[in-house]
Amino acid sequence: MILHVVLCEPEIPQNTGNIARTCAATGASLHLVEPLGFSLSDKYLKRAGLDYWSMVEVKTYPDLDDYFSKSEGIQRVFATKKTGVKYTDFAYKKECSLVFGKETAGLPESLLDSHSESCVRIPMLTDARSLNLSNAAALLVYEALRQHDFPDLEIAGPGLGNT
């Protein structure tokens, strides 16, 4: 399975660092769409990703159109609270891009409208604005992997693995 985690205009370095760590643990690649709300040399970004940065393929793009033009033919899944499709009810292909918007605004309405058949939602209480971006990314990454029986990931028995 080939997973691509795409962050559009991420603003908080710690979130991106945590997502990089999830990518490192699962073999997913990380794609960052500019503008970024931080420098890639940011100490908070590096601290959140700990020593995992060398295990992650990270690419940057000047805009989302550039990413799309370089990822033709790959399934795109858009995370949003503006759909009724639960992330667990969506069929993830063996290669897919999981696309997330910036922390303060999510993805643009026009993008969601033009890809409504590929939008997924993480259920939560009505009064909750959103989940933390790194938590949302982890949920979608692991659901896509679960649907394909966690390919290439070691699954330790009880008491055998490190957490």
Q: Is 17 exposed, middle or buried (0-12, 13-18, 19+ CB in 10 A)?
A: buried
Q: Where are the chain's structural domains? A: 2-147
> Three-class SS of residue 48?
helix
Question: What are 119's strand-pairing partners?
Answer: 78
Q: What is the pLDDT of residue 156?
A: 65
What is residue 161's DSSP assignment?
Answer: S
Q: Between 155 and 58, whose confidence is greater?
A: 58
Residue 38's pLDDT band, with cuts at 50, 70 and 90, is confident
* pLDDT of 15 higher than 70: yes
Over residues 87-106, mean pLDDT: 97
Q: Between 163 and 117, whose confidence is greater?
A: 117
Average pLDDT, the chain: 91
Q: How far apart are CA 154 and CA 163, in angstroms?
A: 13
Question: What are 78's strand-pairing partners?
Answer: 99, 119
Candidate from 26-35, 43-52, 116-125 with smallest mean pLDDT: 43-52
CATH of 2-147, one of 3.30.390.50, 1.20.58.220, 3.40.1280.10, 3.40.50.2300: 3.40.1280.10
Q: Kindly give, in sequence order, each residue whose CB lies less than 8 Å from that of residue 12, ignoring residues fewer than 6 positions away.
A: 37, 38, 103, 133
Percentage of the chain beyond pLDDT 90 is: 77
* pLDDT of 100 higher than 90: yes
Give pLDDT tens digits for 41-54.
Answer: 867 777 766 678 88
